[in-house]
Chain A
Amino acid sequence: MIKVRFFALLRERLGTHEISLPSQGIATVNDAISALAQHNSNWSQIFTDQEVIAAVNQQLVDKDQSLQSGDELALFPPVTGG
């Protein structure tokens, strides 16, 4: 399984802060996002129109980054701290 965490606007729009995604068939962050978008039509729309940044095991990554079972994937909107 891959633990997926959501933050800020993305968390609010999806209505959840965390889900577990079966790792079978998921090789990269892009694959994980595609799988999440298939959850329902609402999620499909959100992942189409929301700019998403990814971190794997608390490190920022590109979306072609590989994923393995046990990884923590975090997805969130562009950051606005400081």
Chain B
Amino acid sequence: MDCYVCVQEANFDVGAEYQTLAQDPQCGAVVTFTGLVRDLPGGGLQGIELEHYPEMTERLLLQLCERAQARWQVKAIRLIHRVGMIHLNESIVFLGVASAHRKEAFAAGEFIMDYLKTQAPFWKKELTQTGSYWVAAKASDMDAVSRWQQDD
């Protein structure tokens, strides 16, 4: 089982990440997700500053990938999360899961993203022309993760 996790300031190349996952002839499915910096409903967002807890972040992300591997038949996972200054419409996070069949790849990918959103120690601050504001956590993200706990 191949699992790559990286927390970095630099942007990443989604195409190159996909190509890395698509090499294995035993894999019939590669599911990818890319999270982007989204504008505010009324516009005016310049970008975000993403803080994290460096000693904990990669370790927790690796634990999430290992839990997904233990639960579904997946061949490879690549998970990259950016930190620092990220401009409007740039990528924040990439997740790719390769498996023999699509259902495992979709499920493992949703599981990892749902837990990442509620457990990984990252915090977003929105930068606008009128000031900067910490993003509040969403109750819907907690609801999303609860479905995996019910299945345990």
A residues sitting closer than 8 Å to B (CB atoms) are 5, 7-9, 12, 55, 58-60, 74, 76-82
Contacts and interface: CB of A to CB of B under 8 A. Distances in A.
Dominant SS among interface residues on chain B: mixed
B134 A9 contact: yes
A81 B134 contact: no
Contact of A81 (B59, B124, B136): B124
26 contacts: A7-B51, A7-B53, A8-B134, A9-B134, A55-B53, A58-B59, A58-B60, A60-B119, A74-B53, A74-B56, A76-B121, A77-B134, A78-B136, A79-B117, A79-B119, A79-B137, A80-B136, A81-B50, A81-B81, A81-B117, A82-B92, A82-B93, A82-B116, A82-B117, A82-B120, A82-B122
A73 to B, nearest CB: 12
Contacts of A58: 53, 55-56, 59-60
Nearest to A60: B119
Given A12-B134, A76-B121, A80-B135, 18 more contacts: A7-B51, A7-B53, A8-B51, A8-B123, A9-B134, A55-B56, A58-B55, A58-B56, A74-B53, A74-B121, A76-B53, A76-B123, A78-B136, A78-B137, A79-B137, A81-B81, A82-B113, A82-B117
B28 interface: no
Contacts of B117: 79, 81-82
Nearest to A11: B51
Given A7-B51, A55-B56, A74-B53, A82 B35 contact: yes
Nearest to A8: B123
A59 B57 CA distance: 10
B124 A80 contact: yes
Nearest to B138: A80
Nearest to B92: A82
Interface string B41-56: 0000000001111011
B69 interface: no
Please indicate which of the listed interface residues B59, B119, B121, B137 has the most CB atoms of chain A within 10 Å of its own CB: B121
